[in-house]
Structure 1
Amino acid sequence: MRTGHSEPVDRILAAAYELFSHRGVRDVGINELIERSGVAKSTFYRHFPSKDALVLAFLALRDQVWTVDLIVSEARRRGTTPEGRLLAIFDVFGDWFQRDDFEACTFINVLLEMGPGHPLGEASIGYLARIRGHIQALAEEAGLERPDEFARSWHILMKGSIISATEGDFLANKRAQQMAGWLIAHHRN
């Protein structure tokens, strides 16, 4: 995974991305990150003075790689209308839910793990708000009424489907997509 940073930073972020995505923040120690990335301890701390600093960099990377480059871009590619792009989010989720490496939502996971008062929890809340911002933009493109309210309700469907898939309901995306159609109809002009 190339991030545009120096080679050691790319290696650290790649290790962090894999470990934090699948195991959470608290379960992963600095020594494991250093070992997995193959950098010296001094190199690690020169670039990331604390584990929290690395987690913040990981969250920013996750937002770009996952939210923007995959979910939003793929939904825009698959949908032929603004409403179709909104509904396509759940098609993208369906592909994700079927993957062997499905790990639920990193932002939800970190928020629940660290709590809303912790800086990492606060950062996760910010990234979740960014996701709602993407949804609101799609709702505005679709000409839906009360796009902010729509985005909040839509985000509940997104988060709920992720949690349901984590419980083993791998058709949660289709159930959420059906409810999403009703939500769109409720917000049409």
Structure 2
Amino acid sequence: MPRGLTEQEKESQRQLLISHGRKLIIRYGISRVSVDDIVKEAGMAKGSFYNFFSSKDDFLYHLVFQLHEQGFARIKTVLRDISQLPSAEKRVKIKRFFMEMMKDPEQRFFIEEHNEVERFMLRYAKDGLAELEAMEQRNYQEMFNSMNLKGKQPEILQNYIHIIFFGVSHGEILIKEFIDPTIEVMIDGLLDYLEV
């Protein structure tokens, strides 16, 4: 009789599915990737997928949740790393971080596909959307608590960040060659507001 998988082995398989599914979804889009595609890419049996996820929608929810968590972890690391730097150096590092995030293929995909991700969440995972929003609020709160906001309203900062990221999701109405310079101006405005 074969032995069962350890919890570590199960988590390793789950992460393998997420990793391969993530690559496929970023390459082809949410609607064009099936469970069959994911398990084939991961080299696993289809039944294995359903040991971890109840459906493709459940898989997508976990993927989106993980991407949000990883994005916030990156932001928190940068904030910690720059906390003791002089203001001019902070500005340079924050701008570089924002520009790198905007160019990151995974971030670009989820920025550009934000509307499709949101439609999916509203259609298939309403409870999941509430959990995702709660996680996002928790992470923003932790982030703001670690910063010296000098009496600034954290809600304005949160809106500003969303406007920068999701404003570019409508690239079809923007002048392509001026997107990066526009983002830089917006980041400068955010940093001016924060008095950095």
TM-score, L = length of structure 1 = 0.70
Q: Tell me the CA shift for residue 25 of structure 1.
A: 1.7
Find the aligned partners of 1:8 and 1:132 in 2 and give their Cα distance: 27
* Amino acid corresponding to residue 57 of structure 1 in structure 2: H
Unaligned runs of 5+ in 1: none
Contact 1:140–1:147 (CA<8 Å) still a contact in 2? no
Is 2:82–2:90's contact at 8 Å kept on the other side of the alignment? Answer: yes
Secondary structure of 1:141 counterpart: coil
Contact 1:12 1:37 in 2 (8 A): yes
What is the aligned counterpart of 1:106 among 110, 125, 128?
Answer: 110
**Aligned-pair distance for 1:7?**
2.7
- Counterparts of 1:91-102 in structure 2, within 5 Å, are 91-98=96-103, 101=105
Aligned residues: 183
Residue 53 of structure 1 aligns with which residue? 58
> Separation in 2 of the partners of 1:135 and 1:162?
26
Structure 2: which 5+ residue stretches go unaligned?
Answer: 1-7
Paired letter, 2:158? A
Greater radius of gyration (CA): 2
CA distance in 1: counterparts of 2:138 and 2:28, whole angstroms:
22
Q: Distance in 2 between matches of 1:25 and 1:50?
A: 13
Match of 1:148 among 152, 155, 171: 155
Q: Percent identity?
A: 12
Root mean square deviation of aligned Cα? 4.0
CA contact (8 A) 1:94 1:174 kept: no
Tell me what 1:157 maps to: 164
1:119 & 1:18 partners in 2: Cα distance? Answer: 22
| Cα distance change of structure 1 residues 47 and 187 upon mapping to structure 2, 3 Å threshold | closer
Tell me if structure 1 keeps the 8 A contact 2:72–2:139: no
C-alpha distance after superposition, 1:38-83 (max 9, x if no partner): 1111111111121111111111221233x12334423543563689
